[in-house]
Amino acid sequence: MEKLNIEKIFNNYSDSSPISAIPKRLSYDLLNNSTERASKKRKLSENDSGTTLNSSKNDKSFSNDSSSFNLTSMPSSPWEHTRMKADLIESKSRVTLLKKEIEHLNTVSASTELKYRHQISSLEKQNTYNTNKISDLEKHLSVIRKRENATREELVKCKNSLNIQKQSYDDQVYQLQRDYNELEETFTETCSDLKSEVRELNQQISETDEQLSMTKEELENYKQINETLQDKADNYDKIKKELDELREKYTESESKIKALEYEVGSYGDWKNLSKVSHQRIANYKDLEKEVHRLREETKNLHDIIGNKMLLEEQVTDLKTRLEHYEKNNTDVVSLKVQITELEKQLNEWKKVANDFSTNKAITAATITPIILRSQYEQILQKDLILANEKSSVKNEKTQIENEITGLRVENEQLIRQSDELKKTLKQYQTALPRLQKKLTLITRERDCWKQLLDNYEKDLTITSSSALNNPDSQIRARIEMLEKTVGGYKELCAKLETELQENKNLPDLALENALNNEQYEILRKEIMQLTSENEKLRKRKNELELEMDNHTLRAEINRGLSKVVHLVQNPADEAYAEHANEIEKLQAEIERLKLKVKKLEEGNEEMTMRLNDTNMTMNIKEVNTLKAQIQSLESKNQHIKEVYKAAALEFREVCYMLFGYRIDRVGNTNYRISSMYAESADEYLNFNVNENGSVLNMLETQYSISLGDMMQTHLASHGSFPAFLSTLTLELFNRTTVMMKPVQQKAQESEQEDEQVQELPQKSESVVEENETVKEVVEKIEVEQIDEQGKEN
């Protein structure tokens, strides 16, 4: 279009010009002259920033130039002709630019007119609102003025009433001042009286202090006398303890001798057991080979199963990867489409930003929405900063006021807490000496409980056989031990009474001997530990009492069933007789020593000389030999106890496995029976045995009530407990049995065989060890017999 317009202008110009002999080919030189047009365009770009006034001036100049161009004569050279064409094109482009600027200014003026109209409408609305508000305020002001007049009248009335009240209060104040002066006079009189009373009390305190010092001196004298008496009592207690120990050793040796006799009788049974164990050991090698073969087979099976599991895991991993890759491919296509759309949107945003950017340095390539937003937000932020600063100052003021009030409240709370802590500290300081006294009492109680436990443990060493043969000696030893404990309690009570009297006489020194909180916590922990130890000792005492009762009951039960076989020429009888003779000698010597102690206390030295002449002292070698024998017998007794316990446990487990019932002893004559196939622990039966042991009675329980039909058929009609228990086991077995798979049965059988194979060497070793112990016991007995025969010879 531009080329066509240029050609039309050129044709008009050529028709109007007087020179017609200009060659027309010169008109095409305008297209080749690009350098001149470029320079002209630069000038246009520099002059584009001019105002509307400049544009109007340019229009006028253009019109003048065109008129002058028409008036003047046509240039003679073709170069001037081309220059004129270029000027004409330049003026045309300037005209188009100016038209565009005019259109832009029209749009801007229209937008500003719309804005101003909108502002005018809003201002009119605000004006109406303000006029309405002013009218309302005037009405409100009239109301306030009426109220003010009413309040002024009320104020006058209040002032009159206040003056009347002030006069009455002044009279009251005058009377109160009189009362205060009278109270001050009475206070001074009471203070003088109290001071005189305080002086009298101080004199009384000094007198009591002197009396206290006198009592302390007397107390020290009594303590010295008590120490001398305690030394004498300690010597007497030592002699008495030695006598008790000798009696206990005598009873233990008798019981051990009888146990050894029983072992000699059971030596033949041990030989039979050893033969059976040798046969089992011979078959042990074959079983080891089979076990080795089976273990190799199980290892191979485990390896095959592990490889199978690995392959299955790999297949599943590959399947999951394949699915993951397919999903990724579908996602990639959708992402490519989204990327192209986003690129288009980005280019459009860049164009918009370039059009509306105020900064000329920013180009379309560098401008972003963030930059435009930042420029727009900078202006808003300035206003917001000022508003925020104002509100922050107000908030800081309120915060500071609130902090001041909070600090005041906290200060008051801290003062209260400090007062409370001081009170608690005083209470702890007064309570500390009491706690120390309690701690000493608890330690003494603990020592007493320990002594009682030692006495019970000594009682437990006496076996059932000794309880059957010599119950009188056991009772005597028990009585002596109880007498010792009673004496200890008496001493403790006497000490506590003396301490109470001392504490009553002494003044309060709690604040002087006050300890820190750390020391108080340490003492509290020690008290807790001592109380826990005391509880443990009590539990241990109860357990030992139960064991003592069980031992005595077992001895009474086995009295009718057990039989003792004695040898014709029993070396144990001879040793027992010798031991009895030695004990008689020792008892005689103890009686002589008792007489000697009494005479020493009385101060008769002549009798002590006579007793020393006639005293029969025991040889030191014999005492050493007796101690060695006692130690050997104690070790044998412990071994017998261990064997007995193991045999009892095996017997109980075998009964449980064979008959399906576990029997627990609840009391002296009560027994609890629970089945192997019971569904819960509450399913048990209680039985009671008569004192003679001939009649067995079934006690009622919740589980027995549910078995009414079975009890009527077997107990009420037939009266047989075995039939009742066997039917009960069958019924429970039918309830709980479940069909097992053959594979599981084979696995269980293989596991049982492995366990039996592993237990065989352990059993063989235990049998060998027991045979060796029996041999050692027999050899020791033979050696002791030979030694005793040599002594007699």
Which helix (H) or strand (E) segment is 585 a member of? helix 571-602
What is the number of other CB atoms lying within 10 angstroms of the CB of residue 284?
A: 12
List CB contacts of 288: < 8 A, sequence separation 6 or more: 757
- pLDDT at residue number 739: 38
Band of residue 503 on the pLDDT scale cut at 50, 70, 90: low
pLDDT higher than 70, residue 96: yes
pLDDT higher than 60, residue 427: yes
Looking at the domain assignment, is residue 301 inside a domain?
Answer: no
- pLDDT at residue number 357: 62
User: Rounded distance, CA 659 to CA 654, Å?
Assistant: 8
- Quote the mean pLDDT of the chain: 70
What is the number of other CB atoms lying within 10 angstroms of the CB of residue 671?
A: 16
Tell me: do 576 and 547 sit in the same domain. no
Q: What are the structure tokens assigned to 763, written together?
A: 């059993």
- pLDDT at residue number 29: 43
pLDDT higher than 60, residue 502: yes
Mean pLDDT of 271-294: 71
- The three-state secondary structure class of 48 is coil
Band of residue 69 on the pLDDT scale cut at 50, 70, 90: very low
pLDDT higher than 80, residue 288: no
420 or 360, greater pLDDT: 420
Choosing from 156, 186, 207, the residue where a domain stops is 207
Which residue is listed with tokens 């105002």? 51
Which residue is listed with tokens 């008036």? 71
Global pTM reads: 0.22
User: Rounded distance, CA 263 to CA 465, Å?
Assistant: 14
pLDDT higher than 60, residue 562: no
Tell me: do 495 and 585 sit in the same domain. no
620 or 655, greater pLDDT: 655
- pLDDT at residue number 513: 44
- pLDDT at residue number 641: 82
617 or 336, greater pLDDT: 336
Tell me: do 598 and 451 sit in the same domain. no
Please answer whether residues 278 and 270 qualify as being in contact, where contact means their C-beta atoms are separated by less than 8 angstroms: no
User: Rounded distance, CA 509 to CA 503, Å?
Assistant: 10
pLDDT higher than 50, residue 40: no
pLDDT higher than 50, residue 32: no
Looking at the domain assignment, is residue 775 inside a domain?
Answer: no
Tell me: do 580 and 547 sit in the same domain. no
729-753 pLDDT, tens per residue? 888 888 776 434 444 555 565 565 5
| Angle in degrees, 0-180, between the axes of helices 517-557 and 369-460, rounded to the nearest 10 | 50
- pLDDT at residue number 57: 43
List CB contacts of 124: < 8 A, sequence separation 6 or more: none
Class of residue 300 by CB neighbours under 10 A (exposed 0-12, middle 13-18, buried 19+): exposed
Please answer whether residues 9 and 88 qualify as being in contact, where contact means their C-beta atoms are separated by less than 8 angstroms: yes
319-355 pLDDT, tens per residue? 787 787 777 777 777 787 888 888 888 777 777 666 6
3-state secondary structure 746-763: HHHHHHHHHHHHHHHHHH
- pLDDT at residue number 790: 59
- pLDDT at residue number 123: 84
Looking at the domain assignment, is residue 288 inside a domain?
Answer: no
Tell me: do 596 and 462 sit in the same domain. no
Looking at the domain assignment, is residue 271 inside a domain?
Answer: no
Tell me: do 37 and 15 sit in the same domain. yes
383 or 42, greater pLDDT: 383
Tell me: do 148 and 80 sit in the same domain. yes
Q: Tally the residues of the chain.
A: 793
* Domain boundaries, position 605: 571-618
Percent of the chain with pLDDT over 90: 0
373-387 pLDDT, tens per residue? 776 676 577 777 777
Looking at the domain assignment, is residue 552 inside a domain?
Answer: yes
Tell me: do 555 and 576 sit in the same domain. no
- pLDDT at residue number 607: 44
Please answer whether residues 675 and 728 qualify as being in contact, where contact means their C-beta atoms are separated by less than 8 angstroms: yes
- The three-state secondary structure class of 51 is coil
User: Rounded distance, CA 343 to CA 459, Å?
Assistant: 101
Choosing from 599, 618, 637, the residue where a domain stops is 618
**Long-range contacts from 587-596, C-beta under 8 angstroms, 24+ separation:** 588/616, 589/615, 589/616, 589/617, 589/618, 590/239, 590/243, 593/239, 594/239
- pLDDT at residue number 457: 64
Tell me: do 63 and 121 sit in the same domain. yes
- pLDDT at residue number 516: 55
User: Rounded distance, CA 212 to CA 205, Å?
Assistant: 10
166-206 pLDDT, tens per residue? 777 777 777 777 777 777 787 777 777 777 777 777 777 77
Looking at the domain assignment, is residue 275 inside a domain?
Answer: no
List CB contacts of 469: < 8 A, sequence separation 6 or more: 254, 258
- pLDDT at residue number 364: 59
Q: What are the structure tokens assigned to 647, written together?
A: 């045999």
446 secondary structure, DSSP code: H
Please answer whether residues 339 and 322 qualify as being in contact, where contact means their C-beta atoms are separated by less than 8 angstroms: no
Tell me: do 463 and 599 sit in the same domain. no
pLDDT higher than 80, residue 118: yes
Please answer whether residues 628 and 259 qualify as being in contact, where contact means their C-beta atoms are separated by less than 8 angstroms: no
The residue among 641, 727, 726 whose CA lies nearest residue 252 is 641
- pLDDT at residue number 61: 45
Looking at the domain assignment, is residue 143 inside a domain?
Answer: yes
User: Rounded distance, CA 485 to CA 448, Å?
Assistant: 7
User: Rounded distance, CA 663 to CA 672, Å?
Assistant: 6
222 or 91, greater pLDDT: 91
Relative to beta strand 696-699, strand 684-689 is antiparallel
pLDDT higher than 60, residue 3: no
Q: How many domains does the chain have?
A: 3
Amino acid at 634: E
Tell me: do 487 and 575 sit in the same domain. no
| Angle in degrees, 0-180, between the axes of helices 78-265 and 2-16, rounded to the nearest 10 | 170
Looking at the domain assignment, is residue 122 inside a domain?
Answer: yes
Please answer whether residues 523 and 442 qualify as being in contact, where contact means their C-beta atoms are separated by less than 8 angstroms: no
Tell me: do 82 and 149 sit in the same domain. yes
pLDDT higher than 70, residue 619: no
